[in-house]
Amino acid sequence: MEWSDVRILLAVARAGSLGEAARRLGVSHPTVGRRIKALEDEAEQPLFRRTRDGLVLTDAGDRVLSLAESMENAALSMERRLAGNHDRLEGLLRISSADWFAAFVLAPVFVELGRLHPAVVPEVIASYRQLDLTRREADVAFRLVPFSEPDLVQRRLMTLHYGLYATAQTAAAVEADPASVGLILMNTAQSHFPDVAWLIERFPDAPRVFTSTSRSVQAQMCLRGRGLAVLPRPLGDATAGLQRIETRGTPPTRDIWLGYHQDLRHMDRLRAMLEITDRMLSDRPPG
């Protein structure tokens, strides 16, 4: 069984449909269908069955799933190690982070990387979804929480400070009647964030008027006078028209962690970016 066929088998098993597997692999729907049929003809038995919830593995398909995953792990390991041994400072470098962090914190790092190594092309994947570094969905990621995946190199990069922001008009309204101003918060999935609890506790009678996973969207709604928002200071301070409101106490800080797969530790373009990142952003004491 060839790796290209195994790759399609795994994609269909994970996606539950030929169409979604084709989209993830960047091939056509008929191509996926033909390859699965060829696999089943070779195995002389069906590997998938159709259900109301989509395609699921048959007993035969389930028996070969772990072997297919082992083949995938070997192929990915070879890919990572070949990438890690690249001896020229050129090529694509895939970086995962929140959009606002890339725009307001990492942007100077990208500029410096381009100045020193113009053949390296940073590709920012701005998403709150935690990409799988083992599968090389990204080469390096920046997150608010430590990494839990195996075989990753990680370290704390910096402490991120937050502030309470509003327009001048909203700030005046808060001064007159705190309960009259709405709160702009993270959505339900991120409602456990410390800054959300801090803001609700600080203004217990204020209504919740807007939620979003995107800090950039929150900043824009705050700028349009929708209410108060706790924002990362690099974002809030850089948004013209917003001012930081001094209150009793300050929102909780968060640590920023960076991580990458250990097989990429010798990738020169990654090391170059990490050196620049540490020099420009790290708040760790030298040595």
Query: What was the pLDDT predicted at 203?
Result: 94
Query: What was the pLDDT predicted at 4?
Result: 82
Write out pLDDT tens, residues 229-253: 999 999 999 999 999 998 878 999 9
Lowest mean pLDDT among 81-90, 109-118, 244-253: 81-90
Write out pLDDT tens, residues 2-24: 778 888 899 999 899 999 999 88
pTM of the predicted model, to two decimals?
A: 0.69
Query: What was the pLDDT predicted at 88?
Result: 54
CA angle 177, 228, 240 (to 5 degrees): 120
Query: What was the pLDDT predicted at 61?
Result: 84
Predicted confidence (pLDDT) at residue 287 exceeds the cutoff of 70:
no
Distance CA 82, CA 264 (A): 9
Lowest mean pLDDT among 36-45, 128-137, 266-275: 128-137
169 to each of 79, 147, 154, 229, 247, how far by Cα in Å?
55, 41, 43, 14, 17
Predicted confidence (pLDDT) at residue 131 exceeds the cutoff of 60:
yes
| Overall residue count recorded for the chain in this entry | 287
Quick one: average pLDDT of 126-133? 81
Query: What was the pLDDT predicted at 127?
Result: 78
Distance, CA of 155 to chain centre: 16
Quick one: average pLDDT of 53-73? 84
Instruction: Quote the crossing angle between the two packed helices 107-116 and 268-281, to the nearest 10°.
Output: 130
Place 83 in a pLDDT band, splitting at 50, 70 and 90. low
DSSP E strands in the chain: the ranges are 48-51, 54-57, 91-97, 120-126, 140-143, 152-160, 162-166, 183-185, 208-211, 228-232, 243-244, 254-261
CA angle 66, 69, 74 (to 5 degrees): 130
Beta bridge partners of 97: 126
